Chain A
Amino acid sequence: MLHRNSHTRGASLLAHSLVFLSVATVSAQQATDTSQSKPPASSAITGRVVNESGQPLPGVAVSVGSWGASDARRTATDNEGYFKAEGLDAGVYRIFASWPSYISEAPGSFDSSERQPLYRPGDSVTIKLTKGGVIAGTVTNATSDAIVNVTVRAYRVRDAEGKPLPTATSSRERLTDDRGYYRIYGLQPGSYVVSAGGQGQYVSGYAANPYGNDVPTYAPASTRDAAVEFVVRSGDEATADIRYRGEPGHSISGRVAGVQPNPTYIPGVLIVDSTSHALIATANAMDENRGFQVNGVPDGDYEIAARAGGGPNGDASASATKRISVRGADVTGLELALAPLASISGRVHLELDSKSSCGRHRETALRETLIIARRDLVEEKAETKNAKDKSAPATEALPFGPAFAEAVANDKNEVSLRNLSPGTYRLETRLPGSGWYVSAISLVNPDQKPPVRKATEANIARDGLALKSGDKVSGLTVTITEGAASIRGSVSVADGQRLPQNIRVYLVPAEREASENVLRFFEVGLESDRTFTVANIAPGRYWVIARPAEENDSTRVKLIRQNSDFRARVLREAESLKKEVSFKPCERTVDYDLQF
């Protein structure tokens, strides 16, 4: 029986940093932006949960949560697998279905290019759950004695296609039984490494852990670099035995300093492996000096940061991420200074157009518009910084805490994005329907002395918004306008030629004066049948081009709105090709043939 709020104090940092592997995301049958939903008179979202064979699953917990997820409606499927979440206010919702040992067909990672589907009252959805994979095995020592009650966890290092993951995510930890046997179930398909021993992730120093000072042993019997990867498929079981070495590790200790907005929150410290970005340990700074200690750390490079507070309504504070190395000795005396996180607030403007017929959901458009601030994971200036400078703020992503914040405007059109770690943020929107487009994102500074340069209006859409600790930026203005156009087509290639992989379609403005307006640049990947759809397009003239995507590193695609060099190049290429398309308000172009 839980009193929810008292728990967020100590554990909210985990709510941010954990990947909920037991909670599924949804793969929808319908894309939300092509609104086939009923008018907002209905206040329910209904659906059905089935397994991989299409059979209904009864008794599955379904959570329907609005964007903030603080007031998720919980319900369960009936004997036929149907569920219904009623009495929902107008707005956009996410749906999670979870059942022990089952997983969903995850549409993707938390990468910015993959989006979780959003639903609105009146929608109906089918959710498919499949049996997750299992890794099981026995942990013994060199003389074949069972290692009892040791924590074991599996890190997912590749996805189902074998592609390495930018961040290795950890399964929950399981304890071995009296025979040294453990079992981790409900795993997403992919490749895993498995380790036993060490402090474990959720230790607060409150329980004696005889393996707490040991360096974790990875299956079959090694440190991380020689760990064997185990391939796990849905519904399959892989065996990973571990010969436990029990070599002592070193400790990382220090204290958390700095101001907390709410002193009742217990700060937490997270340590992440620099290479795999896997979360290797957490600790709570519970004593009166807010000291912390993590034991059993193997030699290696790590990043460490402290965080306190958070949750959907609370104010959080976080320290800068420090880079540390463990090389044969304890690391002591670390000081992690908490600093308040930044926030952005402002207003969302709706521009209605009585002549337009394509902007649906007018009455509820404001509540169905999601404003997202997403932190750049790679800064263009990063390469020039000295990576050995330990006191410099992390130039890589803070691996802890979400890299984005989202909000929906309230009844007064006000929107507030809170608890943002330092970095550069891009603003994105999820729009109520395909008939709307974002016409402006700007920062209106009421104190700014005239003359206000017009260039400042386009700045944050193009360059993002740089935030430092404690910045409270106000005056954000997002304008969404009725009358967006859309285009649907397919990419064709000349006879005898093959279409390269990873082709993306880019729309760039043809008007010269719009070349700096990133809100006029659009891009989309191809479906498997070579078709593409771009919606929410601002009316005007465009060049269109199909070309291979470029990558920042092996895991992230360059986005045209974020990368100015790339944008300029694509603009030049599209201009020279001269494939022009023009869009009037609400115009829908279908069957467009784009030649590669």
Chain B
Amino acid sequence: MNHLTRFLAHVSIVTVTLLCQSFANAQVPDVKTKDTGSISGRVTVGGKPAPGILVTVTTSNLRAVAQATTDAEGNFRVNGLSAGQFQIMPFTPTYVLPPNNPMFGPGQTINVSSGEAVEGVDFKIARGGVITGRVTDADRRPVIEERITLLAVDETGAPARQQIFASRNYQMYQTDDRGVYRIYGLPAGKYKVSAGQEPGRMAMVGAVTGNYPRTYYPDATDPAKASIVDLSEGGEAKNIDINLGRRGTTYTVKGKIVDADTGQPLPGVMYGYGVLQTRRTPQNQEQSYVAGMASPAIPTNAQGEFRLDGIEPGRYAVFVWSSMAPANLRTGPDVYSDPVPFEVVDSDVTNVEIKARRGLRLSGVVVLEGVTDKDVLARFSKLRVTVNVFSGAGSAIQMMGAGGASAINSDGSFQIGGLRPGRAQINIGAFSPDSAGFIISRIEHQGVGLNREIEIQPGQDVSGVRVFVTYGTGVVRGQIKIEGGTLPSDIMLRVALTREGVTSGAGQVDSRGRFVIQHVVAGNYEAVLQIISLGSQTALPRGLPRMQRQPVIVADNTETEVTFTVDLTPKEGP
């Protein structure tokens, strides 16, 4: 990827984050209170103070908020924090943070109350190690800008449970113009080092040159035959050279998109494709589904023809993707199609025919209830209604919700076209933090209340949908007390608010057992604590309930406190 593509990938993470529905319930720092909170602690290396280390504080979305540097004793203090949830970590690219609960990401997650001085946030860091080497091809020429993948393994060579290597330097995972890579800041341990890609694993566009098959140091395509690199703390493993074979051949897939009824070719239609995979349903049946979607973003030509270049051998499905183009730029017909499977073996694939049907419309009105505040009304006008359609359980190939979005007109009406039949899930969201606090309280269609889902029948538009939105100003703040032991590092705690079976808000529990759920609409809820085990092994006592519930009453502009207690005392025998 060139540098622009890489930046676009970085921006896309941000854009996708903003598009995510979860933003409606995100923990956004409350800017109205005074910013007098602080976090202090100590950074040590091998028990000794680590001076001059930068400690950074970011929001959950990795937006930089504040930073401080450790003094000669390794102490730091970050001031000027508003109330909210933050991530704090030492910025030490050549050191390693201790492995911790993956739910917190690197560093620690702290929920700071207004004006609170949080103390004792300590970090024990270790010196990071280096793995470096050179990648060449079958002709001994350097392979440039090839990505290196590290797999942490245990003594037997099997993948280790934790695979996260926090890094601020994505470039170091790529070979340079000499084919050389140098990855630093790695935790001590055993690794299998590889380059290349399994063919047919990802739907890619633009990578027409074909990937090298995944090859492990020094030249093994079978991971079982890979040499294990043993890295000591702060050590350097040199000459970890990988010899790749030859690039795989890629092929072209061509076909047409036609009207399902008339058979006429359709020009100007956007399409995409994805990898075909299978999984087992709860009914123990095999269900095919499309994993990942990519598109060359080129519409069909005047003859309705499409083509995909650079496709590796594998099984895929191609489909119409009208919503690929923004609504105001769509020139082709608003259509959808079922995914059409195809397989690439050792030659081009031609004559793939996609039958497209007229996209269905979902329209209605959004009603904002109980709001008079002008600021809130202004933010409401920026919201968008988004629809994700999930194909029914009986479909031959399931596809990720392909849907659409619509702005809300000044009279509250909205309309989304180009939808396929299936279960349509309706949400509201926006491209900015503006959406925080708005919640769909109920949806009605033809007098019937729905749980945010509407069934779209083939060939039938849906109109008159009423989406009722409210704005929450209540806050639920709480604490989870752990008694009789410490919580294992592979356990995740999650608190949600539910009402009539619908989740109205969720909060992440931080390193101190605290959580905050903001923008809750007034009402009676149940706070539900879930104890989720992330690994296969767990040291929780036998018979420990994995879920706890408590009634909670939330009022406007008020904070309600909730406390859960998790008793880890080992229970006596049977």
| Chain A residues at the B interface, C-beta cutoff of 8 Å | 1-7, 9-11, 14-15, 18, 20, 22-23, 59-61, 70-71, 73-76, 87, 89, 98, 100-101, 132, 134, 148-149, 172-175, 177-178, 183, 185-186, 202, 204-210, 262-264, 266, 284, 286-288, 313-314
Contacts and interface: CB of A to CB of B under 8 A. Distances in A.
A100 B309 contact: no
A9 B12 CA distance: 9
B177 interface: yes
B93 A149 contact: yes
Given A174-B171, A206-B63, A101 B177 contact: yes
Nearest to B330: A313
A140 to B, nearest CB: 14
Contact of A74 (B206, B294, B299): B206
B203 A1 contact: yes
Contact of A22 (B3, B128, B247): B3
Contacts of A286: 14, 432
A262 B328 contact: yes
A277 B202 CA distance: 41
Nearest to A201: B7
Interface string B321-356: 000111011000000000000000000000000000
Given A20-B4, A207-B168, A71 B11 contact: no
Given A177-B172, A185-B177, A262 B305 contact: no
A147 to B, nearest CB: 11
A277 B270 CA distance: 39
Most A C-beta atoms less than 10 A away, residue of B93, B204, B208, B431 = B208
B560 interface: no
Nearest to A208: B56
Nearest to A206: B62
A56 to B, nearest CB: 13
Contacts of B203: 1
23 contacts: A1-B294, A4-B205, A5-B297, A6-B12, A6-B15, A23-B2, A59-B210, A71-B298, A75-B208, A100-B2, A101-B144, A175-B169, A178-B93, A178-B130, A185-B176, A205-B63, A206-B61, A206-B62, A206-B64, A208-B56, A208-B91, A210-B67, A266-B15
A417 B301 CA distance: 22
A4 B206 CA distance: 11
B307 interface: yes
A183 B177 contact: yes
A23 B206 CA distance: 14
Nearest to A4: B297
Interface in B424-449: 431-434
A122 B382 CA distance: 50
Interface in B236-251: 247, 250
B10 interface: yes
Contacts of B134: none
B62 A89 contact: no
B58 interface: yes
B130 A7 contact: no
A53 B56 CA distance: 51
B209 A61 contact: yes
Those 6 A-B pairs whose CB atoms lie nearest each other, nearest first: A172-B3, A208-B56, A185-B177, A101-B177, A178-B184, A4-B297
B49 interface: no
Interface in B87-103: 91, 93-94
A206 B19 CA distance: 16
A519 B293 CA distance: 51
B12 A3 contact: yes
Given A2-B294, A5-B325, A59-B209, A206 B12 contact: no
B67 A208 contact: yes
A2 B209 contact: no
B396 interface: no
Interface in B152-185: 168-169, 171-172, 176-177, 182, 184-185
A201 B305 CA distance: 40
Contact of B247 (A20, A59, A266): A59
B14 A10 contact: yes
Contacts of A264: 326, 431
B301 A2 contact: no
B292 interface: yes
A2 B172 contact: no
Contacts of B305: 87
B54 interface: yes
B434 A2 contact: no
Nearest to A210: B54
Contacts of A266: 15, 431
A61 B209 CA distance: 7
B297 to A, nearest CB: 4
A313 B298 contact: no
Given A15-B4, A87-B305, A210-B54, A178 B168 contact: no
B176 A183 contact: yes
Contacts of B283: none
Given A2-B12, A5-B326, A59-B247, A14 B62 contact: no
B530 to A, nearest CB: 30
A249 B530 CA distance: 48
Contact of A148 (B19, B94, B382): B94
